[in-house]
Amino acid sequence: MQIQADGAQVRRWRDGRGWSQEHLAEVAGISLRTVQRIENGEKAARESVMALAAAFGVDVMALTVDAQAQAAQATRDGKAKELAALRLSVLIHLAGYLFGMMVFAGIGLGMGDAAIMRWPTIWWTVAMAGHGLVLAVVELVTRYQRVERA
């Protein structure tokens, strides 16, 4: 039976003890190639993972990858990146909006009729408010999901 071992964890523990891959293979009683495959993230025989766990003096579960936990973490990381991107887009939009309002004010004052840019100002303000509202709703939903998970 093949088990997905946490190769990065094996490497960290091996490096932390100052062991080479050869030394770890010797202590665990497995081949050097098996240690290399495990550290590269490939699956390994159950017996090999048990031998590594014994060599490190830890439980076998400490060396195995929890696929569900990794998938959940990847999902959370992806959502956090999306939220950060949405925040950045709102800030960029706000900066453009503020600059645009200054240009609109300059055009209105330059033409002697401040109301000439009224409709573009109104519609851009509606767009900015909508963009901000989307961010607010996404933030609220994210917070609600965090509270529900806890």
Distance CA 121, CA 119 (A): 5
Give the number of other Cβ atoms within 10 Å of residue 104's Cβ.
Answer: 17
Query: pTM of the prediction?
Result: 0.59
Question: Which residue from 2, 62, 53 is spatially nearest to 30, judged by alpha carbons?
Answer: 53
Each of the 150 residues of the chain gets a pLDDT tens digit; together they read 787 888 888 898 899 999 999 999 999 999 999 999 998 988 888 888 889 989 988 888 887 866 677 778 888 899 999 999 999 999 999 999 999 999 999 999 999 887 899 999 999 999 999 999 999 999 999 999 888 876
Topology given in CATH for the domain delimited by 2-62:
434 Repressor (Amino-terminal Domain) (1.10.260)
